[in-house]
Amino acid sequence: MEFRFFLHPFGMKTLVLNIVLILWLASASGQGSFHYVFTMKDAKSLAPIENAHISFLPNGGNAISNKQGVVETRLNEQVQKIKISHVQYGDTTITLAGNSNNLKLVILLTQKRNILPEANIFNGPDTIYGHPDWHVADYVFTEEGMVLLTYGHRRRFKRENEQGIDLFEECRLVWLSKLGDVAFQHPVNETCTGLHSNYPGVLFLNTRDKAFQINANENTLNLYPIEKRDFENKIKPIVGEVNPKMIGTSHSPRYPAFDVFAFETTDTAATVFAHVEDTDLMTQFLSEYKWMSPRGKLEAFRYELKTGIDKEIVAGFMTGFPESIYFKPLYSPVFTTDSSVYLFDHYKDYLYTFDNTYHTVDSVKITYHKGDLGKMWDEFVMFDKATNRAFALFSKSGRYSIREINLKNGSIGPKIDITWKYPEKVSIQNGFVYYLYRPFESPQNTYLYKEPIPDLLN
């Protein structure tokens, strides 16, 4: 026996559920696995609905309807609710009544009407993506378009080690085509922190407790979990690729130096070709050993004998110097093209260029991070791989601007203002500056915008 749910839109924003419910109990014993079959159909045409995302509550399992609109699953726990998500039909939650271990449902969905609430209209940059119910948290570029991380609200209560980290709830991934159309979207039942795209050809979703590799084609998107430790140690250090080798760094936010190296994925050996160090901060870091108690010095020395790490370095971590107000994480970004590596060493005040054999072919003086201009520098450099142009970000009194960095002589170009104050997640792609923005004291959510960069010469 089958029973059906009929869903239709009502009002401006929500779907009102009209339920015609006939509960079929095939077994009242409750023993063994729970067998569920859900069939999604269009309420008007009765055509099957493919790629409808089903979340089983409260156990948190997920499934996607096939070409026949069917989701069939066996679970060890009884399902109390199901949440249905689809680009064309919106989100719907259904409460399942009764106590059955064999259940079949035919669910009729009506396409939603997107009626936006009243909002202020701003003249200015182009809107790439905005939604009345969802904020944009992060975005990355792909060859086919863009992937966006959206969310319903931010998590307010955090663990002690999560202070300063944005945590997003009710998340979903949105895949935009090159034309800006929503190809499809995927709900994420995790507390998310952002997207990661430095690893060549692969996208990752970073969450509170794990990471996910994002695999997508023209019809579906799948997430494959990765241990948090593997992501931090094997994925995050990679900054690019100069064929045939990957380029990575040993950068740590708790140590005042790091190496830049090249390696092949089939070989454990790596070629270190650059070193970055804040010498003044390193002096303070190593001097922590001098002020330790005799017992602390002995412990640091024993650790040196055990691991080979200098006792002065061990002491710097033992005393908690990286968490003190005197420590500042290093910022010297590394960018790659098909044949070059660019290292912005803000501690030696040089921009280094390496060729595809990882030898230095050029080094030019950089000064944008010094003096009066350096006071406005936002400690952020962006690289447009589509045009091989680098830009530095500056801010003053909430007004943000970018200046192009000449890769040949290190000079800085004229100021290019960003239209609105306090933009977030600023990046450069193919001659456009992209950023997230929400108008001050506006009911509008956080949207993704872009505006063109004038082709100015340094």
Backbone angles phi, psi at 336, to 5 degrees: -130, 150
Q: How far apart are the first and last CA of the chain?
A: 74
Residues 212 and 150 in one domain: yes
pLDDT of residue 100: 61
Residues 221 and 155 in one domain: yes
**Paired tokens of 194:** 């952002």
CA distance 443 to 266: 52
Residues 215 and 130 in one domain: yes
Domain with 207 in it: 126-233
Residues 40 and 135 in one domain: no
Residues 295 and 390 in one domain: no
49, 79, 109 - which closes a domain: 109
pLDDT of residue 122: 46
pLDDT tens-digit series, residues 97-134? 666 667 788 888 888 765 545 544 444 689 999 999 99
57, 76, 109 - which closes a domain: 109
pLDDT of residue 124: 65
**Paired tokens of 82:** 């199901």
Residue 159 pLDDT greater than 90, yes or no: no
DSSP class of 300: H
Residue 448 pLDDT greater than 60, yes or no: yes
Q: State percent of the chain over pLDDT 70.
A: 87
Residues 220 and 159 in one domain: yes
Residues 142 and 104 in one domain: no
Weakest mean pLDDT among 3-17, 124-138, 226-240: 3-17
Number of independent structural domains in the chain: 4
pLDDT of residue 14: 37
Residues 79 and 35 in one domain: yes
One-letter amino acid identity for 43?
A
Residue 119 lies in a domain: no
Residue entry with tokens 């830049």: 260
Cα–Cα nearest to 99, from 3, 30, 35, 36: 30
CA distance 338 to 245: 11
pLDDT tens-digit series, residues 385-429? 889 999 999 999 999 999 999 999 999 999 999 999 999 999 999
Residues 99 and 7 in one domain: yes
Residue 97 lies in a domain: yes
pLDDT of residue 50: 87
Three-state secondary structure readout of 36-75: EEEEEEECCCCCECCCCEEEEECCCEEEECCCCCEEEEEE
Cβ atoms of residues 256 and 282 within 8 Å: yes
Most confident of 27-36, 53-62, 89-98, 153-162: 153-162
- Cα–chain-centroid distance for residue 234? 17
pLDDT of residue 1: 43
Reduced to 3 states, what is the DSSP secondary structure of residue 219?
A: coil
pLDDT of residue 379: 96
Reduced to 3 states, what is the DSSP secondary structure of residue 278?
A: coil
pLDDT tens-digit series, residues 292-341? 999 999 999 999 999 999 999 999 999 999 999 999 999 999 999 999 99
- Mean pLDDT for 236-262 is 94
| CA angle, residues 10, 13, 14, in degrees to nearest 5 | 55
Q: State percent of the chain over pLDDT 90.
A: 57
Residue 340 lies in a domain: no
Domain CATH number, residue 101: 2.60.40.1120
Confidence of residue 20 (pLDDT cuts 50, 70, 90): very low
CA distance 364 to 424: 30
Residues 95 and 8 in one domain: yes
Residue 31 pLDDT greater than 50, yes or no: no
pLDDT tens-digit series, residues 190-225? 999 999 999 888 999 999 989 999 987 666 778 899
216, 233, 250 - which closes a domain: 233
Number of C-beta neighbours around residue 212 at 10 A = 20
Reduced to 3 states, what is the DSSP secondary structure of residue 259?
A: strand
Residue 346 lies in a domain: no
Cα–Cα nearest to 101, from 84, 77, 83, 117: 77
Residue entry with tokens 């190496």: 259
Residues 6 or more apart whose CB falls under 8 angstroms from that of 347 comprise: 276, 277, 278, 279, 330, 332
Cβ atoms of residues 419 and 451 within 8 Å: yes
Residue 10 pLDDT greater than 60, yes or no: no
pLDDT of residue 9: 44
Residues 103 and 168 in one domain: no
CA distance 292 to 20: 74
Residues 377 and 433 in one domain: yes
CA distance 76 to 78: 7
Residue 286 pLDDT greater than 80, yes or no: yes
Residue 382 pLDDT greater than 60, yes or no: yes
